[in-house]
Structure 1
Amino acid sequence: MGFEGNLDQESATPPKQSFFRYNSPLVQVSIIGLVCFCCPGMYWALVGMGGGGQVDPTAVNNANTALYATFAIFGILGGGIYNVLGPRLTLASGCSTYALYAGSFLYYNHYHQQTFAIIAGAILGIGAGFLWAGQGAIMTSYPPHNQKGTYISLFWSIFSMGGVVGGFIPFILNYNRTDAVSVTDATYIGFMCFMTVGALLSLAILPPSKVIRNDGTSCTNIEYSSVSTEAMEILKLFLNWKLLLIVPAAWASNFFYSYQFTNVNGALFNLRTRGLNSVFYWVAQILGSIGIGYVLDFSLPSRKMRGYVGIAIVALLGTAIWGGGLASQLKYSRHDLPKKLDFRDSGSDYAGPFVLFFSYGLLDAMLQTLVYWFIGCLADDSETLSRYTGFYKGVQSAGAAVAWQIDTRKVPFLSELIVNWSLMTVGYPLLVVLVKLAVKEDEDGEEGAKKAVASSFAH
């Protein structure tokens, strides 16, 4: 009897595993990072040029309004779809829509008809909802309980490198076209090639039940869900007070892109300089995510205190950066645009606006890493977290849809800046409430994880 008890106890403690196995959280999070490097990373490099690389931003504004309107719906539904279809089918179908979007601007380069771009944007919104719900589930549920900030930073760094490389594409291909107003066909073709590779790479993602942490435990033992179950669980998200506290930060976290990309990068700089700025915007994203990820995982023994410190850092930095943005914005308006700046010819006049745009990228990554970390603190299983991150992306996209349409309506630049700054500021105190009421200390989370593992072995 004693022998059997010892045997059961030993079998319930899985052996340690290598970090670099194909089915390890590190490798799987890195793969989803590469998928997003190729697809959303290139999308953001394209949008980051201002006007999608076109002289008139109307087409990209309308396309992105359609994109985020459908993204808002399918972002929320995406978690349930991921739980029903599994990662490969969900991610591959989502990624396949990105190349179509880039191709629509190749078409626009020749025919200047925005209907195709708007339709492609709406289709991309559906695909993006699938992709980001799956990405969020993988990024927040696969890592060990006490290293979620580190893995979020790892993903964000790989994903942001897509923006870095994507920024070099228009910069290099348009380097000698100092007076150009729209990018070459080769620029869009380059984006399409990367996006196609990303769709193929998504097939390398394993189902959650096959991913094993380094201590030998499975990330999740939950099997595919049913449509009726997911429909009910998605409806419950709108009554979840923890998620409702995240809504203002989620709404704000993509709202500022239309202002930053079109009315700062697009309004102040010439074409080749916008490509260079885009490179450094995404370099800033890498630095911001790594910095705040370290604070959230390693800065203090208490998990709650790390959350408070993270909010304080983002709030203080955000106030300073938007204050600098206000100082810059007071110098020009939608109807009084300055001469386009060039990184080689404008000298010191280029430095200040460049640092501002770089700082916007830094703040974006810090805010989104912070919110993802909070979401990761609310649960550990991929089924629940796919719904939570889908809800986050849905709210985020609804805000972006409104923002892109606001810019299409030619709202004054200063009004857009004030709205963006205000929306971000409203989110900070509610995140403090979330930390106080919902974030558990590391020991509590680890204990819950151990009980879940023990239960899975018992069955």
Structure 2
Amino acid sequence: MSNFDAAPPNTHAGGDDDALRPKGNGPMNHPVPPQYADENVDMIAYSKNVPLWKRVCQHSLTQMMLLSVQAFCGPAMTDAIAGLGGGGLATPQTSNIATAVNYALLAIVCLLGGPIVNKLGTKWALALIQDVGTSLSRDVGACGKYLALWIVSRNMGQLVGGVINLAKNHHKGASGGVAPDTYIAFLIIESMALPFAFLISPLENVVRSDGTRILVSERIGTKQEFQKIKVTMASKLVVLSALWAFWSFFYSDTWSTYLGTYFSVRSRALSSLVSPFFCIIGCFGLGFILDMKNVSQRRRAQIGLITVVILNLGVYIWSIIMQTRFNAASPGKVDWDEHLYPTAFLPYFFVQTTGPLSQSYMYWLLSSFATDAQANMRNGAAFRCLEAVGQAVSYGMNTQIKTSLLIGFCVTFGLLALAFAPMLVLVNTVPDHIPADVIAEEQEKVYTKTENIEASKGA
């Protein structure tokens, strides 16, 4: 266990450091690789015995792309509608109430994500329930870029949605909400996610670029899953990241209500098209920072945290200044051909990048503590649950649209300030090596030693 001395205590889903290696005859102690153990694949034999189509389908990048399709067809379309401000309705209140209820239900589903995926498998969980599937695959040195791919897919979906929005709602002087048939196109795209969900492979069949499989622990019963959820929610990792999770999506409704309150229909349609552009660049930029080869994992985590916080602070200060001006003199409905438009719109534009950067960074950080795929899934589900709670509270708060939006901006600012200290503590305990990778290396040494002993006996 000396190799785990650098890892922080009680940060993974199991609770304490000894849980990194299961007791007894579990998959980490058995000299013969069990069904769900991480193992190196003989790539030569794999190439000869497995058809090309199957090798391509089971590759970690392919699986991540399939997950990205789910993001494109599902959450991205929801984001595109949100990009209209107030769900594209004449007033944001009805949309805010419905969305608050939706995220409250989503929080419950995410909390139960572990048992659902364990019972149904990732494929059927994705086919039946939106947002249950979390990071399935992790190539060494590419996690940041894989997460960026997922985020970018969501934003590419928003771009497509933005084109639809603008095509249907580009006439000057239009009042009220967006054209009703705008939503039909979104429903068609969302329905396309289902067939791609059936192409998701079981975790134990996914093969990484370096010829290794994903570390997957043995399946457990539903009662045990609930016990693990309880331990996960009380773990140091989740406790320290809870405020960050609650804050990370809290901005969404305040800025959406801001857009719906102060901008014309066609300006709101244009925003849903242009907002994702910079997010794509930003997320890949953060991905490269988090995957830097010559910098330790802890240092990358620290650089990522500071980068995300500084960018968010800049946007929040700008937004508060603009809202203070609007409180003093309402601008009415700002159109894109007015001189006020760039100054008023840019805070919304940039928060559509800084927000996803906050979430992308946190999921990368969670994976840095993972002991196996299930632990990573439970941690991700816990984080998404807390995100959804934050979203539900945010949308609920903004149902009172007569209240100044300045309150929402200041609350979001305050939540970031509160979240920073515990996140800094967590980041400063990031292990130098991912526990799952260390386990896999030790396990491989055991297998190699056992094979050498057996070979010497045979000789």
| TM-score bin (small chain) | 0.7 to 0.9
The 5 A counterparts of 1:281-360 are: 281-298=275-292, 300-333=294-327, 337-343=330-336, 345-346=337-338, 348-360=339-351
Specify the alignment match of 2:397 in structure 1. Answer: 406
1:7-52: CA deviation from partner (whole Å, max 9, x where unpaired): xxxx966227899821111111111111110110001111221121
Query: Structure 1 residues 90, 454: CA separation in 2 closer, same or farther (over 3 Å shift)?
Result: farther
User: For 1:12 and 1:389, how far apart are their aligned partners in 2?
Assistant: 26
More helix by share: 1
Instruction: Pick one of 186, 189, 210 that aligns with 1:194.
Output: 189
Specify the alignment match of 1:79 in structure 2. Answer: 114
AA of the residue aligned to 1:302: S
Deviation at 1:200, TM superposition (A): 2.5
AA of the residue aligned to 2:383: Y
The 5 A counterparts of 1:382-397 are: 382-397=373-388
Check conservation: 1:234, 1:387, Cα contact below 8 A.
yes
Deviation at 1:407, TM superposition (A): 0.6
Query: Structure 1 residues 221, 182: CA separation in 2 closer, same or farther (over 3 Å shift)?
Result: same
Specify the alignment match of 1:274 in structure 2. Answer: 268
Instruction: Pick one of 390, 407, 418 that aligns with 2:410.
Output: 418
The 5 A counterparts of 1:45-444 are: 45-94=80-129, 131-134=130-133, 136-138=134-136, 142-176=137-171, 178-263=173-258, 265-298=259-292, 300-333=294-327, 337-343=330-336, 345-346=337-338, 348-410=339-401, 411-437=403-429, 439-442=430-433
Specify the alignment match of 2:35 in structure 1. Answer: none
Check conservation: 2:100, 2:392, Cα contact below 8 A.
yes
Check conservation: 2:204, 2:214, Cα contact below 8 A.
yes
AA of the residue aligned to 2:182: T
User: For 2:435 and 2:200, how far apart are their aligned partners in 1?
Assistant: 30
- SS in structure 1 at match of 2:333: coil
Specify the alignment match of 2:60 in structure 1. Answer: 25
Check conservation: 1:150, 1:290, Cα contact below 8 A.
yes
User: For 1:312 and 1:12, how far apart are their aligned partners in 2?
Assistant: 36
Deviation at 1:456, TM superposition (A): 8.3
TM-score by length of 1: 0.83
Specify the alignment match of 1:105 in structure 2. Answer: none
Check conservation: 1:84, 1:224, Cα contact below 8 A.
no
Give me the CA root mean square deviation.
2.4
Structure 2 residue runs without a partner (length 5+): 1-38, 452-459
Specify the alignment match of 1:14 in structure 2. Answer: 42
- SS in structure 2 at match of 1:371: helix
1:78-97: CA deviation from partner (whole Å, max 9, x where unpaired): 12211221011111111xxx
AA of the residue aligned to 1:293: G
AA of the residue aligned to 1:406: M
Check conservation: 1:209, 1:222, Cα contact below 8 A.
no
Query: Structure 1 residues 238, 176: CA separation in 2 closer, same or farther (over 3 Å shift)?
Result: same
User: For 1:272 and 1:14, how far apart are their aligned partners in 2?
Assistant: 56
Deviation at 1:401, TM superposition (A): 0.8
User: For 2:41 and 2:417, how far apart are their aligned partners in 1?
Assistant: 46
- Larger CA Rg, structure 1 vs 2: 2
Check conservation: 1:51, 1:61, Cα contact below 8 A.
yes
Structure 1 residue runs without a partner (length 5+): 1-10, 95-130
TM-score by length of 2: 0.83
User: For 1:299 and 1:316, how far apart are their aligned partners in 2?
Assistant: 24
Query: Structure 1 residues 221, 242: CA separation in 2 closer, same or farther (over 3 Å shift)?
Result: closer
User: For 1:160 and 1:150, how far apart are their aligned partners in 2?
Assistant: 15
Query: Structure 1 residues 150, 82: CA separation in 2 closer, same or farther (over 3 Å shift)?
Result: same
Please identify, of 11-20 and 67-76, the stretch whose mean Cα deviation from structure 2 is larger: 11-20
AA of the residue aligned to 1:301: V
Query: Structure 1 residues 216, 207: CA separation in 2 closer, same or farther (over 3 Å shift)?
Result: same
Deviation at 1:74, TM superposition (A): 1.4
User: For 2:289 and 2:126, how far apart are their aligned partners in 1?
Assistant: 31
